[in-house]
Amino acid sequence: MVKYSFIEPRKKHLFSTFSKIWILFISFISLLLIAFGIFLLIKIALYKKDTVATNNERVALENQIDKKDNYMEYLLRQKSLGEEIYSRNTLLKDSMKNLFDLVPDQITLERVIIKKDSLIMYGKTPTKDTFNFLLSAPLKSIFSTSNTMFYLTKEGWYNFVSTNKITTTDGFSE
């Protein structure tokens, strides 16, 4: 065989070493970008899932707040009702005290029935005049109508039933 060259032929590679380094570098960067893209897609999916869960939790908390607001309104209505009953009871207590202060020592009450617009008293008095002068006059100034029935007892005293009514709406509170 005839040699036309002074050097031994070398194998020629399809890509040079420098090209191989560049291809390897570009491949590595491409893989990193693809991995980063997949990472971002996973994070976005997780954030969407967290957003849905947070929205559901927010809706549940809003429902709880609405329930607590309704319960608070109920409690405030109950408190208002309790205060109204307390003030009525205080007014009734004061009215009862004033009524018993109105009854003179000579007259003995055995039973008192107070309704919204009426007062019925049962008791004993030494004479009809004692009742009429000491108790009937103040009762007539308070009530619209005032009727009294007397019954003579064996001891000489009088049992009485006094029925007093108010026709206006400003009567006693229950």
Q: What is the pLDDT of residues 34-76, one digit of tens each?
A: 999 999 999 999 999 999 999 999 999 999 999 999 999 999 9
Are residues 164 and 92 both part of a single domain?
no
Q: What three-state secondary structure class fits 16?
A: coil
pLDDT above 70 coverage of the chain, percent: 95
Are residues 122 and 79 both part of a single domain?
no
Pair of tokens at residue 16 = 């040079």
How far is it, in rounded angstroms, from Cα 144 to Cα 110?
23
Domain boundary among 62, 82, 102: 102
Are residues 98 and 109 both part of a single domain?
no
Task: Determine, yes or no, domain membership for 162.
Answer: yes
Domain boundary among 102, 126, 151: 102
Are residues 47 and 70 both part of a single domain?
yes
Are residues 126 and 158 both part of a single domain?
yes
Burial letters 112-124, b for 16+ CB under 10 A, else e: eebeebbbebebb
Overall pTM > 0.75 = no
Q: How confident is the model at residue 116 (pLDDT cuts 50, 70, 90)?
A: confident
Note the pLDDT of residue 28: 97
Are residues 114 and 74 both part of a single domain?
no
Note the pLDDT of residue 169: 54
**Structural domain harbouring 52:** 16-102
Are residues 36 and 96 both part of a single domain?
yes
How far is it, in rounded angstroms, from Cα 156 to Cα 167?
35
Are residues 162 and 93 both part of a single domain?
no
